[in-house]
Amino acid sequence: MTEETIIEQLKLKNTIVFSKLIDSYQQKIFGTCMSFVPNKEDAEDLVQEVFLEVFDSIHKFKGNSKLSTWIYRITTNKCLEFIRKRNTKKRSGFLRPLFSDDFSIDKTNYFTEFNHPGFLLENKELNETLFRAINSLPESQCVVFTLHKLDGKSYQEIAVITNKSLSSVESIMFRAKKNLQKRLENYYKTEF
């Protein structure tokens, strides 16, 4: 079945085609959600929200990109929305002020799952620190870094997903790496 046919059937609310779409993308979307929100239950909830949004909004899909790109855009937006809501509820949570010079480890145990398919590290505390540092980046840097380093997306794919130019994505990635180095510098000095 071609992508055009799949889109047509989805617009007709064909549940069989929708079920096949879920089967095709569920694990990939779960992996992306885990990259942003490394908590299994929250990631599973986000996956459901993504597919509900796809089902409800397929009529808005204009075909300017591939269907998979549109689904990843929805996924990224749902994850960022979740992080923003959680940060609003818990200001002192894992998102740190953007210009903080001191990056210290908050021992609250939000991060309960560390079995991300592309990111297995042996040390839970190191994982926790790393995810906190990534999520403390400015939003655009967090998105680009996560999609590239944790989900393995190319800069070109990220440019399409985020509606940014390739040079902009490269520049954002450079700044994200520099900011992570600064944020993790104190951790590595004290731990190693």
Which residues, 6+ apart, have CB-to-CB distance to 170 below 8 Å?
155
Residue 160 CA to residue 174 CA, distance in Å, equals: 18
% of the chain beyond a pLDDT of 70: 77
Contacts with 135 (C-beta within 8 Å, 6 or more apart), sequence order: 36, 83, 94, 95, 142
Q: What is the pLDDT of residue 44?
A: 95
pTM for this predicted structure:
0.70
The fold adopted by the segment(s) 3-191 is Rna Polymerase Sigma Factor; Chain: A (1.10.1740)
pLDDT of residue 190: 59
Question: What does the pLDDT average to over 32-61?
Answer: 93
The arithmetic mean of pLDDT across residues 62-80, rounded, is 92
